[in-house]
Amino acid sequence: MLDLNKILKEKILLFDGATGTSIQNQNLNADDFGGKEFEGCNEYLCVTKPSAVKKVHVDFLEAGADIIETNSFGSTPLVLNEYNLAHLSYDLSKKSAEIAKRLANEYSMNQKPRFVAGSIGPGTKLPSLGHISFRELEKSYYTQISGLIDGGVDLLCIETCQDLLQTKSALSAAMKVFQEKKVKLPVIVSVTIETTGTMLMGTDISAALTTLEPYEIIDVIGMNCATGPKEMSESVRYLCQNSPNPVLVMPNAGLPENVDGIACYHLSPEELQRWMIHFVNDLGVNIIGGCCGTTSEHIKKLSNSIEGLTPKARSWEYQPSVSSIYSSQTLHVDPAPVLVGERCNANGSKQFRELLLKDDYDGMVQMAKDQINDGAHILDICVAYVGRDERKDMIEFVKRLNTQVNLPLMFDSTEVEVIEAALEHYAGRSIINSINLEDGEERLSKILLLAKKFGAAVIALTIDEEGMAKTVEKKLSIARRIRDIAVSKYGLREEDLIFDTLTFTLGSGDEEFRKSAVETIEAIREIKKEIPNAKTLLGVSNVSFGLNPQTRHSLNSVFLYNAVQAGLDMAIVHASKIMPLNKIDPRGRELCDELIFDKRKFEAA
């Protein structure tokens, strides 16, 4: 089994160049493809003219490539179906791997082993635009990946990624195949950043990294295609400064020029070499290679130039973040806290509920957008309402939010299937709201498996089989227990957990809850000490439930201030209704403090 990470600590690895360009340069005719109806289906050449595929591999192996890619970029059933060849997906994928592996073995030497990467392209359908469902795409990738692994590939390269939802479906398929075959191959994910500075769907490099970084299955993150090295240099720099994974870069041979309807690339091997050596020596790139327009001459130049080079040590600081399809949002802001907009909640907002009952999704999206202007960093989404199909409503809403709102989302539901549906329609990195131990591990386990599968963060409520924790000690005990289960049993990190120490109303007059606010605040302080990598969150407005509006605004604001002083990272709030403390009259603030810290009790004593 290839230990890619071990090799990358010792040397720079070299991928091959452009398979498509190399095939095109052979001037094949329709007969070579098995007939005019199959012309342009490069993957079919593995059967109709394998010598053409072998020539591509041999040229790159002789040029010095350490890793060659299979001729399988579009070998999924969905892509092959455009040539009525969907039924051959597994066979063509397997055949492409067998051809490449046989040649890699022939060229391997002790001092220079050669490896085969299974090429997995983006396909022709974008799930974020509704072209195809997550599950259909996952099923298609499953067939391709199964064939590649059975054919003997050493690693997988999910490349030219244009839509993060497409990338997630490929990763999900890979996880499923690994589990069934009881194998784990190294996985590379390589996104494509256009000249606009974003992926095709508008995703910037920070959002791409935030979304992909939690996936334990990924060994290397990189970039390929769309542009030459010059145009991608700033995105490469960002990856090298922020990615904990080794970084791959495979640029085109410059920007294409249309010559008589054919894309021509003019970047010389010498110019590509200069850029790639800069990426390796100055930025810390670990794997280099070429994409469209790069020939064996480009690869030979790179091979000669990296001989003896060792990887540059890179330093990076992990910053827990979430993302939309467009951009990333850190979970550490200064001043704290991260504000989670609460208005897109059918249980908490009359206006939102009325829009939902009218199926006015455009109005619901506008409510989401309004919270951006109010200062929210993240949006909480809850569409649960008695008598309605919550799963259907969640899908309809999330499909729109995915491309129409640039803030990350928090999916709020008690139903596992609703959470799963939301995750299958969201391209960014989301937060699941929430888990607890009310029924032991039964529901918690299902949610944690989804969080692992989709790379999501999770809110954990301090509730167990005995009910809602009311004391600092009990809240901390439950937090410890959930942390241990999530990390040790399900492979999440402490950084993926957000603890909610529960907010009870101080407006009920119930003696049981007189000290509830101070217990909640102190529990935050203790959790931050004991589980420092995790985040904390509160639903702030619960503290004032039942009081008049003006009192609610003041109490919410003072409570939030005190919670932040104790270490609160995030707050679910109506962002525009949080008041600066200097806007609350001194006596009003004093009364709020007395209520929050239950000072009345001590004065009476």
Read off the pLDDT of each residue in 173-190 and give the average, rounded to a whole number: 99
Q: Encoding tokens for residue 284?
A: 């810390």
570 shares its domain with 444 = yes
Q: Encoding tokens for residue 32?
A: 């070579």
455 within a domain of the structure (yes/no): yes
Q: Please provide residue 391's backbone torsions phi and psi, each rounded to the nearest 5 degrees.
A: -60, -45
Read off the pLDDT of each residue in 30-42 and give the average, rounded to a whole number: 98
Average pLDDT, the chain: 97
80-131 pLDDT, tens digit per residue, is: 999 999 999 999 999 999 999 999 999 999 999 999 999 999 999 999 999 9
What DSSP string describes 416-436?
HHHHHHHHHT--S--EEEEE-
311 within a domain of the structure (yes/no): no
**Can you tell me the distance from the alpha carbon of 316 to that of 213, in angstroms, rounded to the nearest whole number?**
13
Query: Does position 558 have pLDDT exceeding 70, yes or no?
Result: yes
319 within a domain of the structure (yes/no): no
312 within a domain of the structure (yes/no): no
362 shares its domain with 302 = no
Tell me, what's the pLDDT at 605? 38
Read off the pLDDT of each residue in 530-552 and give the average, rounded to a whole number: 95
Supply the range of the domain harboring residue 539. Answer: 330-604
CATH number at 82 reads: 3.20.20.330
Tell me, what's the pLDDT at 604? 42
421 within a domain of the structure (yes/no): yes
365 shares its domain with 261 = no
413-429 pLDDT, tens digit per residue, is: 999 999 999 999 999 99
Tell me, what's the pLDDT at 148? 99
Q: Identify the domain boundary among 242, 274, 306.
A: 306
280 shares its domain with 337 = no
Task: Report whether 394 contacts 385 (CB < 8 A).
Answer: no
252 shares its domain with 352 = no
422 within a domain of the structure (yes/no): yes
547 within a domain of the structure (yes/no): yes
288 shares its domain with 356 = no
Task: Report whether 248 contacts 285 (CB < 8 A).
Answer: yes
The number of domains in the chain is 2
269 shares its domain with 370 = no
SS (H, E, C) 534-600: CEEEEEHHHHHCCCCHHHHHHHHHHHHHHHHHCCCCEEEECHHHCCCHHHCCHHHHHHHHHHHCCHH
266 shares its domain with 337 = no
Query: Does position 602 have pLDDT exceeding 70, yes or no?
Result: no
| 386-394 own/partner pairs: CB under 8 Å, 24+ apart | 388/356, 388/357, 390/415, 390/418, 391/415, 391/417, 391/418, 391/421, 393/356, 394/418, 394/421, 394/422
pTM flag (> 0.85):
yes
Tell me, what's the pLDDT at 259? 82
Query: Does position 18 have pLDDT exceeding 90, yes or no?
Result: yes
Q: Please provide residue 342's backbone torsions phi and psi, each rounded to the nearest 5 degrees.
A: -105, 0
**Can you tell me the distance from the alpha carbon of 8 to that of 341, in angstroms, rounded to the nearest whole number?**
43
442-478 pLDDT, tens digit per residue, is: 999 999 999 999 999 999 999 999 999 999 999 999 9
CATH number at 386 reads: 3.20.20.20
